[in-house]
Amino acid sequence: MATKYKTEKKQPHHPQIPKTPTGIVGLDEVTGGGIPQGRPTLICGEAGCGKTLLSLEFIVRGANEFNEPGVFMAFEEKTDELAMNVASLGFDLNKLQADKKIKLDHVHIDRSEIEETGEYDLDGLFIRLGYAIDSIGAKRVVLDTIENLFSGLANQGILRAELRRLFSWLKEKGVTAIITGERGEGHSLTRQGLEEYVSDCVILLDHRVINQISTRRLRIVKYRGSVHGTNEYPFLIDEDGISVLPVTSLLLEKEVSSDRVSSGIGPLDKMLDGKGFFKGSSILVSGTAGTGKTSIAACFVNETCKQNKRCLYFAFEESPKQIVRNMLSIDMDLQKHIDNGLLEFHAARPTLHGLEQHLVVIYKLIKRIKPEVVVLDPITNLVTVGSVSEVKAMLIRLIDFLQEEQITVMFTALTLNTVISEQTDEGVSSLVDAWILVRDIEFNGERNRGLYIMKSRGMKHSNQVREFIITDSGIDMVDVYLGPDGVLTGSAREAQKLQEETGMVLRSNALSMKDREIERKRKVLEAKIGSLQSEFESVEEELNKIYIEEELVKKVADKNREEITKRRHGDAPAENKNKKGKNK
Amino acid sequence: MKPAEKYELRLYVAGKTAKSVTALTNLKKYCEDYLHGQYTIEVIDLLLEPQLAEGDQIFAIPTLVRKVPEPIRKIIGDLSNEEKVLVGLNIRPVNMKLS
């Protein structure tokens, strides 16, 4: 049954420039394998956007994961400050230094201590760096932030010449270097125009606060000799360091499965071609407030857990305990699944952090728990954190990621009571594979729930609006009753049913009366027909009588004439006399 | 000026480049002129002892470091500007320079 369609990936075999993996989650994907090997890369951005951390992570991961020792030359922070700052990320710089895997060197430049007279060069820096590189056999070098030299030294002419020399010297040394630079004013990437010297790869970091929520973004401005992602990729700094999220996989080359998963609601499965959702598909359940979206989601989760599959439930509105309690009222024991370790709740207010952070949290949890079903309830709340287009972009990435992992995902979305918004909630309706709409049917002083399938890719789904009821024993669906005045639900449906039953009795009664009437009419008619027939017979007889008499008269006349003729001949028999007398 | 004060000077160079030689010559001249008998000059060639560069925070060559008296002062360049060197080493009071 598990048929998997795999699309062949065509990889062109062009020679690629050698790259050094950074080991930073996502960054290597964006750059197509890392930063250019043996060449300097410029990382620029405003203060506090994560330049130092990114470059330090490059060194630490190089030492830990790729066995490439690195030198970190800091022009801003002292080495012990650095070590302290990144200790929270689990980087033990002091130990790495003791193990000769990395070397930290703080270059202290204080203008007040320095007087410049005449010609000089930066050979001292070269020697220091060279010594540091040689002492541990470094393959990676970070200069953070070399622009501090400009504030410390007055002679810019010398500085610029020396910097040019430094970068070509680094290339000669064959080390992969990262140079950080503060973002300049206007359009320049760095204050001192470092991009002029480092022309192989430039990565721009950005830190924006929109609606009081900050998002960090990364963009590769330039990467000579290599294909790279050109978008702005959000990135995060959390307890594991930096994660870049490139996951807008531009290629739609996902594996697909034709396996089906049950929704946990029998009639709903039936509406979906009798089998339920496709495995690994995305399902949107949208509806107005209080239409039972969460219940549908919980039903799905419950069913999945019953089949011993793992589930992950992201609640953005209710706390897990609240959901568990509420679902108990419709006979669903989610606590049991939680205890079994099959179901995991992750509840957070959307405003807790930005969309990207949410996405990363979701990623990480999915990677850790490896669920088969993920529920996000509701995605509408995420709009409080970002704009609709941002939420959409996030959900695209999430759906892409989930489909790659073959995880079925169910979103719930709140719609407002307008027809237009039904079509455009978060703009994800075009992304999802199946869209179930739950809506209020308000009629006759009560509110009932109707459910229908707006779309379901790849299957013959029902076009019917079904009334969906939440009972003590779970969710059930009844056919929406189509009365003479339109669709009827709830008590109106019951009333209409009763009314129709009464009508039926009355009608059958009326029917039998009519039948009898017809019978009577028929009888009357038959009687009439009978009398007419006899009348006709008598008329016919009358007519016949005249006819026969005429015939007889004619016969007798003929005979008489014959008789007379005979008599005239003189041999008339006696009997003819008798006949003649009889007829008269 | 306190004549009793001893000056400990250290000149960092990298090989015998023209700048280094000029710097050393200039330094010796100033010291003879102004600090006769109360100074020591130590010349450190970083090409031979690169590990020493970190300790005194050397990044430019040549660099003259005044270790004593405290605080540490640094003068980078070939020391061709006499007045600047003297101010930098605090040999002549600053107000004299202004006058």
Residue A123 has, within 13 A of its CA and on its CB side, a CA count of: 20
The residue among A286, A308, A309 whose CA lies nearest residue A297 is A286
pLDDT at A534 over 90: yes
Residue A176 has, within 13 A of its CA and on its CB side, a CA count of: 20
What ipTM score was computed for the predicted complex, to two decimals?
A: 0.85
Residues A560-571 have a mean pLDDT of 81
Our answer to whether residue A115 is catalytic in this structure is no
| pLDDT value for A70 | 92
CA distance B45 to chain A (A): 10
Our answer to whether residue A317 is catalytic in this structure is yes
pLDDT at A193 over 80: no
* Nearest Cβ partner for B14 among A107, A127, A153: A127
| pLDDT value for A151 | 82
Alpha helices in A137-184 (DSSP H): 148-152, 156-173
Domains by residue range for chain B, with CATH: 7-93 (3.40.30.10)
pLDDT at A425 over 60: no
Domains by residue range for chain A, with CATH: 16-244 (3.40.50.300), 256-479 (3.40.50.300)
What is the rounded CA–CA span in Å between residue A81 and residue A86? 9
What DSSP letter does each residue of A200-239 carry, written as one string? SEEEEEEEEEETTEEEEEEEEEEETTS----SEEEEEEET
Which residues in chain A have their CB less than 8 angstroms from residue B14's CB? 123-124, 127
Of A112-116, A194-198, A289-293, B34-38, the poorest mean pLDDT is in: A194-198
**Percent with pLDDT over 90 in chain A:** 10
What DSSP letter does each residue of A241-262 carry, written as one string? EEEE------S----EE--EE-
Asked if the C-beta of A35 comes within 8 angstroms of chain B's C-beta atoms, the answer is no
Of A104-108, A226-230, A369-373, A415-419, the poorest mean pLDDT is in: A415-419
CA distance A177 to chain B (A): 18
| pLDDT value for A51 | 87
Which of the four pLDDT bands, split at 50, 70 and 90, describes residue A536? very high
| pLDDT value for A140 | 92
* Higher-confidence position of A482 and A577: A482
pLDDT at A144 over 90: no
Whole-number CA gyration radius for chain A: 47
pLDDT in tens, A430-488: 778 888 888 887 777 788 888 888 888 888 888 878 888 888 888 888 876 766 766 67
The residue among A502, A279, A508, A272 whose CA lies nearest residue A405 is A279
| CA distances in angstroms from A421 to A373, A443, A448, A451, listed in the order given | 27, 22, 20, 17
Show the tokens assigned to A179. Answer: 């140079």
The residue among A185, A226, A237, A170 whose CA lies nearest residue A202 is A226
Inter-chain touch A120–B63, beta carbons under 8 Å: yes
What is the rounded CA–CA span in Å between residue A141 and residue A175? 7
Of A550-554, A574-578, B86-90, the poorest mean pLDDT is in: A574-578
* Higher-confidence position of A450 and A525: A525
What is the rounded CA–CA span in Å between residue A185 and residue A199? 19
Instruction: Sort residue A543 into left (φ over 0), alpha (ψ -120 to 50) or beta.
Output: alpha
Residues with Cβ within 8 Å of A288's Cβ and at least 6 positions away in sequence, in order, are: A414, A415, A416, A417, A438, A439, A440
**To 10 degrees, the CA torsion angle through A3, A9, A10, A15?**
-150
pLDDT in tens, B14-59: 888 888 888 889 888 888 888 877 888 899 998 888 888 888 888 8
pLDDT at A124 over 90: no
| pLDDT value for A533 | 93
pLDDT at A128 over 80: yes
Residues A100-126 have a mean pLDDT of 85
Inter-chain touch A121–B19, beta carbons under 8 Å: yes
Which residues in chain B have their CB less than 8 angstroms from residue A127's CB? 14, 46-47, 50, 53, 61
**Percent with pLDDT over 70 in chain A:** 89
Q: Which residue of A has its CA nearest to B71?
A: A113
pLDDT at A579 over 60: no
Per annotation, catalytic residue among A46, A196, A232, A317: A317
Of A45-49, A57-61, A537-541, the poorest mean pLDDT is in: A45-49
| CA distances in angstroms from A303 to A309, A311, A343, A452, A491, listed in the order given | 9, 10, 11, 20, 30
| pLDDT value for A535 | 92
* Nearest Cβ partner for B51 among A116, A119, A131: A131
If one counts every other C-beta atom within 10 angstroms of the C-beta of residue B32, the result is 11
If one counts every other C-beta atom within 10 angstroms of the C-beta of residue A416, the result is 12
Asked if the C-beta of A123 comes within 8 angstroms of chain B's C-beta atoms, the answer is yes
| pLDDT value for A1 | 42
- Contacts made by residues A320-328, CB under 8 angstroms, sequence distance 24+: A320/A345, A320/A347, A323/A294, A323/A298, A326/A294, A327/A295, A327/A298, A327/A302
Mutation site for A-interface testing, chosen from B16, B19, B76, B84 by largest number of A Cβ within 10 Å: B76
Which of the four pLDDT bands, split at 50, 70 and 90, describes residue A527? very high
* Higher-confidence position of A135 and A356: A135
The residue among A52, A108, A53, A105 whose CA lies nearest residue A79 is A105
